[in-house]
Amino acid sequence: MRIATWNINSITARLPRLLAWLESSGTDVLCLQELKCAAEAFPTEQLRALGYEAAVHADGRWNGVAVVSRIGISEPVTGLPGGPDYDGLNEPRAVSATCAGVRVWSVYVPNGREVGHPHYDYKLRWLAALREAVRADAAAGRPFAVLGDFNIAPADEDVWDISAFEGATHVTAAEREALASLRGTGLSDVRPRPLKYDHPFTYWDYRQLGFPKNRGMRIDLVLGNAAFAGGVKDAYVDREERKGKGASDHAPVVVDLEV
């Protein structure tokens, strides 16, 4: 089974690339984030033509998540149980489903904006709610993983230059502690193997030649329980999909799983 996660940064803008990638990559289950479309605008028919169905949680704003599968979808849950609101809105940042016996969550963790901003506190509260929501699945015997854009670099080596992030979000102790607490439910970080570079970054800013200079971050993660992690045969970042005109600023993270 091939499972992937990809912050698509607008499924409408990236649809031709998404459809071509699904056809060429052999992906069975894809977790998508930052759809930037309303649920009724999601390309259900185009995906169905390729043999995929989807569980979608979207409202047309800057968020939106989906699980896309060609091996079936059951037990879909939209939203984060117990998740906090922000500015009175319960944002569409989580959706979960079971695909051929593997339970997956697609999550788009709040950015946090800057340390001390209300959005930073929201991010920490959201992560705490996620930890409680996945606790039972993480401890279960069936394969389970939380995949998505966590907006956190787990370690200093997961950013191109830690000194460039002094005082910034994504690398603070509180964020990393929240991520460690999530892993403490029984999840482990499935790190992609290095390909072209020693550090398998997943995101590169559009500005200042971030991608050509490999000034990236590893913030798109796959956190799996023991049953999931034990079945991983390979994991890598598809950097090729970050290249060229019209690319997302994130690359897909791909995991080959034997279950």
Instruction: Please identify which of the residues 28, 149, 158, 238 carries the catalytic annotation.
Output: 149
- CB of 10 closer than 8 Å to CB of 37: yes
Q: Rounded CA gap, 10 and 63, in Å? A: 9
Tell me which DSSP letter residue 38 carries.
B
Residue 7 marked as a ligand binder? yes
Instruction: Please identify which of the residues 52, 57, 170, 250 carries the catalytic annotation.
Output: 250
Closest by alpha carbon to 114, among 52, 153, 171? 171
Residue 63 marked as a ligand binder? no
Residue 225 marked as a ligand binder? no
Distances (CA, A) of 49 to 46, 57, 250: 5, 21, 25
Instruction: Please identify which of the residues 108, 120, 122, 203 carries the catalytic annotation.
Output: 108
Closest by alpha carbon to 54, among 22, 91, 90, 17? 22
Judge whether 149 counts as a catalytic residue: yes
Residue 166 marked as a ligand binder? no
Count Cβ atoms below 10 Å from residue 25 Cβ, excluding itself.
15
Tell me which DSSP letter residue 247 carries.
-
Active site residues: 108, 149, 250
Q: Residues annotated as binding site?
A: 7, 34, 149, 151, 249-250
Q: Residues annotated as binding site for Mg(2+)?
A: 7, 34, 149, 151, 249-250
